[in-house]
A and B are shown apart, each in its own frame.
Chain A
Amino acid sequence: MSAPTDLTATQQIAAVRAGEMTSAELVDAHLARCEDDRWNSYLALNADAARARAREIDAMADKPPLAGVPIAVKDALVTRDLVTTSGSRMLEGFRPLYTATCVARLEEAGAIVVGKTNMDEFAMGSSTENSAYGPTLNPWDTGRVPGGSSGGSASAVAARQAPWSLGSDTGGSIRQPAALCGIVGMKPTYGAVSRYGLIAFASSLDQVGPFARTVADAALLLSYIEGRDPMDSTCVGLREPVCVPTATDLSGVRIGVVEELMGEGTDDGVRAAVREALDRAEHLGATLVPVELPNSRHGLSTYYILAPAECSANLARFDGIRYGHSSADTDNLTEHYERTRAEGFGAEVKRRIMLGTFALASGYYDAYYGQAQRVRTRIAEDFDRAFESVDLIASPTSPSVAFPLASRTDDPMHMYLSDTCTIPISLAGLPSVSIPCGLDAGMPVGLQLSGPAFSENRLFDAAHALEAAIGFDTAPPALEAAA
């Protein structure tokens, strides 16, 4: 039998249920890998509580559905009494009063949180280099970034420090790191999963979603976190329960290919791997149809007005009055605000707060925020039109594979371009999954499949069929070499 940490979550659950393994063994095995955290995947471990809970579950005759299987949780999700920082100095040592709805649901179902994962500060970034606690390294090549902002959740799953994890996606923060780390990452339809307890970056875009090493695990995880929540009125849940996918072919499925995202700006190796995956889709019975999303080219600029505008308000609560970093010995209120925020926030967060404050300022509102809202509607309409003639839309997840550390930190525009394939879908609020589809110079390439709102089951089925056909090995060779 392979090491417990190599098993998928589904296999781990089955092993515990069959009495072949205990939750305590699983938790210990994963914690051992977490404690030796070469990739800086974790910001905090929950070792004692996790072990205690595992013993509790092992003692139960009637085990909860998730049977005490470990999970890693992005540090943007609050966990009661377990330090939650959102990757920021501002929340160093902060112990939340409550647990996010999605995490509470998983814990209730018998999942065990082993730790909180590293991330770009307040989820702002595409490389996890904006974390106040140092960058996360890519398990495929520790000289490269894991993507971001949920880089820690992606690297933890790729490095077998957890079988699955939760991330959050605002403009690509689940899909892009999943692609860069060679695993599955899924952003649900906006409103499918409660945001209660997700430390807000851009409220109208943020969605919590799963990372896993298989599509089936991702679907299983989503089935436990989706659903209405009285604490989040924007959360409506999915319209039908998530089915763990079983499809083996794609007959009758019309896949729209976004040619704009297959040309200039996308690396040749990425394009080649995605083309090959699309060929396999055709072999499985899918029809490929070119689609146009003419307004998607405005996605990046639209996103970089709306998201900063929302974040400028969302992050205003960090004022050093009630919790979090508070500057010492200031003389007056204004100075207290200024110093607290100057000390507590990193450069990228400050940049976006400034951008957003400007975009909302009286006299500029209509030209920036107002215009961006109108373009957002156009982008969504493009997708509506496309889905009249196709079932799914395919594109690369990221225009390039994982880039070397520090290669884009001085060039925000270049960094922002990492999310060019994922942002339009976020603006339209659609469900989207990234699956690994091949390698470019030894680094994983992600294929992004997106569908109409609430088409999660269709997406999972297609991704599952393709996953089997592609047969990607999610084990990073570097990991084997190191082991």
Chain B
Amino acid sequence: MSARAYEAVIGIEIHAQLLTNTKMFCGCALSFGDEPNVHTCPVCLAHPGALPVTNAEAVRLAIIAGHALGCEIPERSTFHRKNYFYPDLPKAYQISQFDEPICGPGRFRYLTEGGEKELGITRAHLEEDAAKLIHVGGDGRRAGAEQSIVDFNRGGTPLLEIVTEPELSDAADAAAFLRQLRLTLVQLGITDGNMEQGSMRADANISIRPAGSTGLGTKTELKNMNSFTFIERGIQAEIARQTAILEAGGTITQETLHYDPVTGEIHSLRSKEEAHDYRYFPEPDLVSVAPDRAWVEELRASLPESPVDRRRRWVADSGLSFEDAEVLAETRELGDYFERVAAVAPAKSAANWVRGELRAQLRERGQEPWESNVTPAALGEIIAMAEAREVSMPNAKAVLAELIANGGDPRAIVEAKGLGAISDEGELEALVDRLIADNPAQVQQLRDGKDKVIGFFVGQAMKATQGRADPGRVGELLRERVRE
């Protein structure tokens, strides 16, 4: 049986830390990188008698996320206790949600080079993060460590866990979905989406089945991958591993796995037999969440256009390439900037300039376009002048450099610095004639059909005019003269 005889069934679980000021169930500040255990209180240290109180801002962010995921927002949502003992879980239960999550089923649309796709969202629920265990001694891993110490600063951080339907069959699609989901949440201010710091983490549930069949094979769970590239590679590796097992006549074991991005290998973390019985039951310390319906609707109505919708619109209506749209949608600010440039200049040129020249010139200053001296209107003006051949491309870039350095009005800069293109045909003709007379050897090469040498003449022309000559017109005149 060949590998193509199997298809994969993939579902994703995403944990996103919410951008609240305080923890999920207490008033402690959220922070990254502070001294250990400074952001703690009786509640998040699970001292006797302490009680959780639901963070209203976390509820608001979860509902906004739900809207962005196309989810239903149920009238009532409740918290449950998920019970297990571990030193990073001070209450020995995690407050999570079970059968009444804050966000119900939804569908999320995302773009791939092959076209638009859609993935079912099963649910999204609120929960608290565990504290951070630090293993001391040995090689820093749990096994072999001399001791483990706990930093409770992270304990109680609000998390939104998003669970998708097992509808994906392709690792690249999984990565595309995750990239666009992340961007959507980041641009809404729901999470900072920092995967390296772990503020966004993804697990994949993977099984394979004979292509065309409808049953489900035994699934494995690939845990805590912290980059989209690793997710894609990890899923591919796991599909290959399962395929090899089935082809060899083996059976898949239900287990939790870890993908090692360095070696590309997959290791087992634990098998189903070791799985916990979490003994979920309703959290009696918290009242249910019953968000006001008018408010829920208000949050939905005030949702800005998502980066995915933006990209779709730019490709369909403005003729941008898939890649241009992808790059420009990366941050809300860049997208907004591009749109303002495109309002006064052709969209494709605007995309090229913003993505290309503008960002390249700003890079050395460590500036973003929207933070720079270059207003969208000014960039639009430069593009318009270049397109009308009122300035040559090199001089247009020089105007941009001047704007970045000192600000100002592009037309005034062109005037003041004499950067306007030579519009007098007679002046250009005289220049070309002089170049022909001065460079007989190159003229001969051109006559011999070596078109490359045109570049030499254009270079000379630009040099002679401080870039004011129109390179295209110089080439044209040269050909005319030499052919004559």
Q: How large is the interface on B (under 10, 10 to 19, 20 to 34, 35 or more residues)?
A: 20 to 34
Of all chain B residues, which has the CB nearest A357?
B279
Between B45, B48, B85, B87, the greatest number of chain A beta carbons within 10 A of the residue's beta carbon is seen for B48
Interface residues of B in 33-78 (CB under 8 A from A): 42, 45-54
- Which of A37-45, A318-326, A467-475 is the contact stretch? A318-326
Between B45, B85, B91, the greatest number of chain A beta carbons within 10 A of the residue's beta carbon is seen for B85
Q: Inside 8 A of B42's CB, which chain A residues have their CB?
A: 96-98
Interface residues of A in 306-327 (CB under 8 A from B): 309-310, 312-313, 316-317, 319, 321-323
| A337 interface hit (Cβ, 8 Å) | yes
Q: Inside 8 A of B45's CB, which chain A residues have their CB?
A: 322
| A150 interface hit (Cβ, 8 Å) | no
B87 to chain A, nearest CB (A): 5
Contact yes or no, B48 A203, CB < 8 A: no
Of all chain A residues, which has the CB nearest B48?
A199
Give the CA-CA distance A299 to B277 in the complex, in Å: 28
Interface residues of B in 258-298 (CB under 8 A from A): 277, 279-281, 284-287
A227 to chain B, nearest CB (A): 15
B280 to chain A, nearest CB (A): 8
Q: Inside 8 A of A77's CB, which chain B residues have their CB?
A: 49
Name the contact of B92 in the complex, choosing from A98, A199, A313 (C-beta under 8 A).
Answer: A313
| B150 interface hit (Cβ, 8 Å) | yes
Name the contact of B287 in the complex, choosing from A233, A313, A319, A333 (C-beta under 8 A).
Answer: A233
Known A-B contacts A96-B47, A198-B49; A321 and B87 likewise in contact (beta carbons under 8 Å): yes
Interface residues of A in 357-385 (CB under 8 A from B): 357, 360-362, 365, 369
The contact string, 1 if C-beta is below 8 Å from chain A, for chain B 314-334, is 000000000000000000000
A87 to chain B, nearest CB (A): 12
Q: How large is the interface on A (under 10, 10 to 19, 20 to 34, 35 or more residues)?
A: 35 or more
| B83 interface hit (Cβ, 8 Å) | yes
Known A-B contacts A233-B286, A313-B281; A78 and B48 likewise in contact (beta carbons under 8 Å): yes
Contact yes or no, B47 A316, CB < 8 A: no
| A387 interface hit (Cβ, 8 Å) | no
A48 to chain B, nearest CB (A): 24
Of all chain A residues, which has the CB nearest B84?
A316
Between A309, A316, A323, the greatest number of chain B beta carbons within 10 A of the residue's beta carbon is seen for A316
Contact yes or no, B92 A317, CB < 8 A: yes
Of all chain B residues, which has the CB nearest A195?
B51
| B81 interface hit (Cβ, 8 Å) | yes
Q: Inside 8 A of A398's CB, which chain B residues have their CB?
A: none
Of all chain B residues, which has the CB nearest A194?
B51
Contact yes or no, B85 A316, CB < 8 A: yes
Contact yes or no, B51 A316, CB < 8 A: no
Give the CA-CA distance A230 to B54 in the complex, in Å: 10
A307 to chain B, nearest CB (A): 11
B25 to chain A, nearest CB (A): 10
Main secondary structure of the interface of A (DSSP, over half): loop
Give the CA-CA distance A360 to B83 in the complex, in Å: 10
The contact string, 1 if C-beta is below 8 Å from chain A, for chain B 79-111, is 001010101001111000000000000000000
Name the contact of B150 in the complex, choosing from A86, A197, A309, A321 (C-beta under 8 A).
Answer: A321
Name the contact of A313 in the complex, choosing from B47, B51, B83, B90 (C-beta under 8 A).
Answer: B83
A461 to chain B, nearest CB (A): 30
Give the CA-CA distance A197 to B150 in the complex, in Å: 24
| A196 interface hit (Cβ, 8 Å) | yes
Contact yes or no, A232 B53, CB < 8 A: yes
Known A-B contacts A84-B48, A233-B53; A365 and B281 likewise in contact (beta carbons under 8 Å): yes
B365 to chain A, nearest CB (A): 48
Name the contact of A96 in the complex, choosing from B46, B49, B54, B284 (C-beta under 8 A).
Answer: B49
Contact yes or no, B50 A196, CB < 8 A: yes
Q: Inside 8 A of A78's CB, which chain B residues have their CB?
A: 47-49
Contact yes or no, A231 B47, CB < 8 A: no
Known A-B contacts A234-B285, A360-B281, A362-B279; A94 and B48 likewise in contact (beta carbons under 8 Å): yes
Give the CA-CA distance A231 to B150 in the complex, in Å: 25
Known A-B contacts A316-B92, A317-B90; A361 and B277 likewise in contact (beta carbons under 8 Å): yes
Known A-B contacts A96-B47, A199-B48, A333-B87; A369 and B281 likewise in contact (beta carbons under 8 Å): yes
Of all chain A residues, which has the CB nearest B82?
A313
Name the contact of B51 in the complex, choosing from A231, A310, A319 (C-beta under 8 A).
Answer: A231
Name the contact of A97 in the complex, choosing from B47, B83, B85, B93 (C-beta under 8 A).
Answer: B47
Name the contact of B46 in the complex, choosing from A84, A197, A203, A322 (C-beta under 8 A).
Answer: A322
Q: Inside 8 A of B285's CB, which chain A residues have their CB?
A: 195, 200, 203, 232-234
Give the CA-CA distance A312 to B280 in the complex, in Å: 12
A351 to chain B, nearest CB (A): 17
The contact string, 1 if C-beta is below 8 Å from chain B, for chain A 184-200, is 00000000000111111
Contact yes or no, A317 B281, CB < 8 A: no
Contact yes or no, A317 B46, CB < 8 A: yes
Contact yes or no, B53 A199, CB < 8 A: no
A262 to chain B, nearest CB (A): 32
Interface residues of A in 182-220 (CB under 8 A from B): 195-200, 202-204
B362 to chain A, nearest CB (A): 47
Q: Inside 8 A of A195's CB, which chain B residues have their CB?
A: 49, 51, 285
Name the contact of B91 in the complex, choosing from A84, A196, A234, A317 (C-beta under 8 A).
Answer: A317
Q: Inside 8 A of A96's CB, which chain B residues have their CB?
A: 42, 47-49
Contact yes or no, A196 B51, CB < 8 A: yes
Contact yes or no, B91 A199, CB < 8 A: no
Q: Inside 8 A of B49's CB, which chain A residues have their CB?
A: 77-78, 96, 100, 195-200
| A124 interface hit (Cβ, 8 Å) | no
Of all chain A residues, which has the CB nearest B87?
A321
The contact string, 1 if C-beta is below 8 Å from chain B, for chain A 86-109, is 100001001011101000000000
Give the CA-CA distance A77 to B54 in the complex, in Å: 23
Between A195, A202, A322, the greatest number of chain B beta carbons within 10 A of the residue's beta carbon is seen for A322
Give the CA-CA distance A43 to B249 in the complex, in Å: 68
The 8 A-B residue pairs whose C-beta atoms are closest, nearest first, are: A316-B92, A203-B284, A204-B284, A360-B279, A197-B49, A199-B48, A317-B46, A78-B49
A-B contact pairs, 28 of them (CB 8 A): A78-B47, A94-B48, A98-B50, A196-B49, A200-B48, A200-B285, A202-B284, A203-B284, A231-B53, A232-B51, A233-B51, A309-B281, A310-B281, A312-B83, A313-B92, A313-B93, A313-B279, A319-B85, A319-B87, A322-B46, A322-B90, A337-B85, A357-B279, A360-B279, A360-B281, A361-B277, A365-B281, A369-B281
A-B contacts besides A231-B53, A316-B85, A322-B46, 17 pairs, CB < 8 Å: A78-B49, A96-B47, A195-B49, A196-B50, A196-B51, A198-B49, A199-B48, A199-B49, A200-B48, A200-B285, A230-B53, A233-B51, A313-B83, A313-B281, A316-B91, A337-B85, A362-B279
